[in-house]
Amino acid sequence: MIFSCPAKINLSLKVVKKRLDGFHDIDSDFQFLNWGDKIEIIPAKKLSVSTKKIHVSQKENLVTKALKKMESFCNTKLNYSVNILKKIPIGSGLGGGSSNAATAMLAVNSVAKLNLSLDVLENIGKSLGSDIPFFLKGLSGKVSGIGEIIEPKKFSEELIMILFPECSISTKDAYRAITSEQILDKRDKLTGNFFEEWVLSNYPQVREAFDFISKKKKVNISGTGSSLFTKIKSFEEGKEIMDNAPIKLGYVITNTINKSPLLDELLNSGV
């Protein structure tokens, strides 16, 4: 069976404070994209996780870690082959790894008839990645705390173009670079993405792409980067912009959506 792992964008992102546990509280608007990775789940002799197109080692894959935690919680073996067709670049700020983990958790929970509640899955998920609870819930909305507090909210569904500079940005590195002074300074002034200035100062590939697009359209950074997004009126407009790009820049044109396609797939899967 094949299931969707939609990407997300941050329509806005504020860092509210650094917590005593080293994590950061955020205030952000998350919206799904009608584009992302796919996961195929097949019964097997033992649990295995593999990726195609973009390599992620089985040991480091969040899917492996999530399913291992589910095995421990349920005291059972989850003998499935999980094959991930990756389209979402690593370190792009689009939540690819977290989306993969959430989809695998929900799909295996359904296929294996584990009957774990969403609360249980969220507790497992948030121990591995702050964005996983959002992908488990499957509804766009306002995200706060370290990512575990989600208030569903409908945003305008738009045609957008996602741009992929040729670099990867570690979320951990981005948050490590934050100082308490920066948080205080930006708390009441910021309207866009807290990390924009840091990303543009430290990643010339993103700066070059940002400067090119911003001459034509308003452009935003998603998450801690490296991807950028801009609203467009049509596929033709997006293609015309990119046909004149002076730099090598991957892109995809898609729609923002308020509900993860995974929710309907699970309802209609017949398992």
Q: Give catalytic residues, as residue numbers.
A: 8, 131
Rounded CA Rg of the chain: 19
Cβ–Cβ under 8 Å, residues 62 and 70: no
With CA atoms as reference, report the closest residue to 211 among 245, 239, 234.
245
Q: Which residues pair with 219 in a beta bridge?
A: none
Residue 184's φ and ψ, nearest 5 degrees, are -65, -40
Q: How many residues does the chain have?
A: 271
Question: Any residues with CB less than 8 A from the CB of 107 and at least 6 apart, and which?
Answer: 1, 3, 39, 41, 262, 266, 269
Question: Any residues with CB less than 8 A from the CB of 227 and at least 6 apart, and which?
Answer: 89, 92, 93, 94, 162, 163, 164, 165, 221
